[in-house]
Every structure is written in C-alpha cells, then in structure tokens.
Amino acid sequence: MKLFTVDEANELLPLVKVKLEAVRTAYARAELYQAGAKAAAEAANAGGGMEGGSRYVRALYEIGKTVTDLNEMGIQLKDHHRGLIDFPSDRDGRVVLLCWQLGEPEQIEWWHELEAGFAGRQPL
C-alpha cells in the first residue's frame, strides 16, 4: 500500500479532481442509460437491441478506467457522487486516511482512522 504525505496528496489533487469529475459525469451518463439497459435485457429474448447501448457501455468503460487509474495511484474512491477519496498516510506510526472531496479547497484538511470513515474526520 502506498502511503502519502500531506504534501504528496496535495500535489495530486488537481489531477485527481479532474478524474473525480470525469467519474461523476460518467456515472450520471450511465444512470441515464440504465433503464434502457434493463429494457434491452428483456427485449433481447425477442431479438431487440438497446437504444443508446454503445453510449452506456462507453460510460461504464470510462468509470472502470478512471477508477482503475485512481486505484493504481494508491487513492481510494469512497463515493463517486460526492467525489470523496482517501489517501492512505502514516500518522504517528499507524496508517490513517487523508480525506478530501470535490467542493473542498484544493488542499487536504482532514484525516480519519481506517475504521472511522467520513463521520470520524478530524482536522489536520
């Protein structure tokens, strides 16, 4: 597991922000086509197709690719709607999570214990 310093996490935030916005947009597009996907599954038995099917698949691909990019960077996506992420970090010899979400200033200001989650956020 990669551990980030606050400075390292802050340096990544501009890039991560773009990725989070892309994930949120792709999820919104996928949700628009989700009803069509369900109807298509029913129509498939009758030989029908899915209107907007390629756009739905493209949105799912974009989600998967971007989430994989974040994971490979060592960043944990916690909530795609809120753009909530965690950066594993060392604090006094134990692993904690530096916490940030879209809409906050572009610097890490919060952390929490592994088990505490968002509700347990504490200021740095």
Q: Structurally, how many domains does the chain consist of?
A: 1
Give the percent of the chain with pLDDT over 90.
72
Range of the structural domain that residue 42 is part of = 6-123
Domain presence at residue 100: yes
pTM: 0.84
C-alpha span between 43 and 112 (Å, rounded): 47
What integer best gives the mean pLDDT of the chain? 89
Tens of pLDDT, residue by residue over 12-59, are: 999 999 999 999 999 998 888 877 666 665 655 555 555 667 788 888
C-alpha span between 21 and 63 (Å, rounded): 11
Give the percent of the chain with pLDDT over 70.
85
Domain presence at residue 1: no
C-alpha span between 55 and 24 (Å, rounded): 15
Q: What angle, rounded to 10 degrees, do the helices at 53-73 and 6-44 form?
A: 150
40-49, long-range: CB < 8 A, 24+ apart: none
